[in-house]
């Protein structure tokens, strides 16, 4: 375990001017990350923030940690290399929905499949913001953008489905306007042993303003959001009088109301992020208004061997049986000859 040190969020703020648009959701996420790092108490020099390209990827400049602003879509590959070069690093990879899921999609799924011990945050504003408003892999079907003036005809990716489909062991979701929850899920993701994926629904005030309004709007959010907590019933609504049950006949979730048709608290599903089977987790990440609330919090958190551990074990096992113990052994192995 890393040494615990008392920090404040200010310790993780750099001296650089934060150059995001006023009102951008990235500001709230930045504050949440600095808050989480302070709470975790790991030595500041053990952090490395690695990003790709996009508005979100300016992140390393604003962090008083080690950082690397890399190239488009390749943050996962570079972060994987950094982790395998230095096991002591706590690596936070920052990507946008385009950076992670379009040009970086292949790296994204293999980071998860390999279970490299890295925490990845995806800022999902459903648009390419830095390049001025083209639709991204998460843009809702039918949305009119600079590159889909008549409405996009592509079915969007769901990051949670991609994560679980790639054999992901940790997936969480939060909102830029809920900094407390964002800090909590980030802390859980960093503590998780393996690849941790955190999707943050983030608002771009310039090119996709209100893209999450069906979830975040003041008039709908009580019924449009469910914040999951380990070991607690899946309840939501202003009065916490609505919940989720499993429809065993059709093998799917359904929304019920306490006291209606004999439904009691004992009928409500209890959240278990540690369940090995992804069956319920898959349905939770797929929920969306108006039929269901969108799920937030730690949705899946299952332990498994990491790439890092398996690589170290393989190296040690091979060293025990290898006849090559040093460079001289290597140079004199196999077919050799003398030049006179």
The count of structural domains within the chain is 1
Residue 255 maps to a domain: no
In the predicted structure, residue 332 carries a pLDDT above the cut 90:
no
CA distance 280 to 10: 39
Q: Return the pLDDT at 3.
A: 61
Range of the domain at 21: 1-211+305-340
Edge-to-edge strand ranges of the sheet holding 119-124: 66-69, 47-51, 90-96, 119-124, 196-201, 170-175, 294-301, 225-227
Structural Rg of the chain based on CA atoms? 22
The answer to whether position 254 is within a domain reads no
Does 28 score more than 90 pLDDT? Answer: yes
In a domain, 277, yes or no: no
| CA–CA dist 119, 193 (Å, integer) | 10
Q: How confident is the model at residue 1 (pLDDT cuts 50, 70, 90)?
A: very low
| Within a domain: 258 | no
pLDDT at 82: 96
Question: 29: Cβ–Cβ under 8 A, 6 or more apart, which residues?
Answer: 121, 123, 176, 179, 182, 200, 202
Q: Which stretch of DSSP H or E encloses residue 39? A: helix 26-40
Backbone torsion region of residue 297, taken as left when φ is above 0, otherwise alpha when ψ lies between -120 and 50, otherwise beta: left
Residue 279 falls within a domain, yes or no?
Answer: no
Give per-residue pLDDT as tens, 245-281: 999 888 899 999 999 999 999 999 999 999 999 999 9
What value does the mean pLDDT take over residues 222-245? 97
Neighbours of 258 (CB within 10 A): 17
Structure tokens at 163: 């994560």
pLDDT band at 63 (very low <50, low <70, confident <90, very high): very high
Rounded to whole angstroms, the Cα distance separating 126 from 112 reads 21
Q: What is the pLDDT of residues 142-169, one digit of tens each?
A: 999 999 999 999 999 999 999 999 999 9
Residue 252 belongs to a domain: no
Would residue 219 count as lying in a domain? no
Assess whether pLDDT exceeds 60 at residue 2. no
CATH of the domain at 63: 3.40.50.970
Q: Domain for residue 143, yes or no?
A: yes
């Amino acid at each position: 375990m890393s040494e615990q040190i008392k920090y404040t969020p200010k310790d993780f703020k750099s001296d650089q001017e934060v150059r995001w648009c006023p009102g951008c959701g990235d500001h709230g996420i930045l504050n949440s990350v600095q808050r989480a790092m302070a709470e975790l108490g790991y030595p500041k020099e053990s952090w490395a923030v690695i990003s790709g390209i996009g508005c979100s990827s300016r992140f390393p400049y604003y962090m008083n940690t080690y950082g690397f602003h890399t190239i488009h879509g390749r943050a996962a590959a570079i972060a994987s290399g950094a982790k395998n070069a230095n096991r002591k690093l706590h690596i936070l990879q920052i990507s946008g929905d385009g950076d992670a899921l379009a040009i970086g999609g292949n790296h994204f799924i293999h980071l998860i499949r390999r279970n490299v011990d890295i925490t990845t945050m995806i800022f999902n504003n459903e648009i390419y913001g830095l390049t001025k408003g083209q639709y991204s892999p998460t843009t809702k079907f039918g949305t009119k953008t600079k590159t889909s003036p008549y409405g996009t005809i592509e079915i969007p990716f769901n990051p949670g489905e991609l994560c679980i489909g790639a054999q992901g062991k940790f997936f969480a979701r939060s909102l830029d306007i809920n900094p407390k929850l964002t800090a909590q899920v980030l802390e859980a993701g960093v503590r998780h042993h393996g690849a941790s994926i955190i999707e943050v629904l983030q608002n771009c005030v310039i090119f996709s303003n209100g893209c999450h309004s069906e979830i975040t709007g003041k008039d709908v959010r009580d019924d449009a959001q469910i914040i999951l907590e380990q070991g607690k019933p899946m309840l939501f609504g202003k009065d916490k009088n609505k919940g989720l049950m499993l429809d065993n006949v059709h093998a799917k979730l359904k929304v019920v109301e306490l006291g209606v048709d004999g439904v009691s608290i004992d009928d409500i599903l209890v959240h278990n992020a540690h369940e090995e089977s992804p069956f319920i987790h898959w349905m939770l990440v797929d929920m969306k208004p108006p039929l269901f609330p969108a799920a937030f919090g730690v949705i899946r958190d299952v332990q498994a061997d990491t790439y890092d551990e398996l690589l170290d074990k393989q190296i040690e096992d091979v060293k025990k049986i290898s006849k090559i113990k040093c460079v001289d052994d290597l140079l004199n192995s196999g077919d050799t000859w003398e030049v006179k």
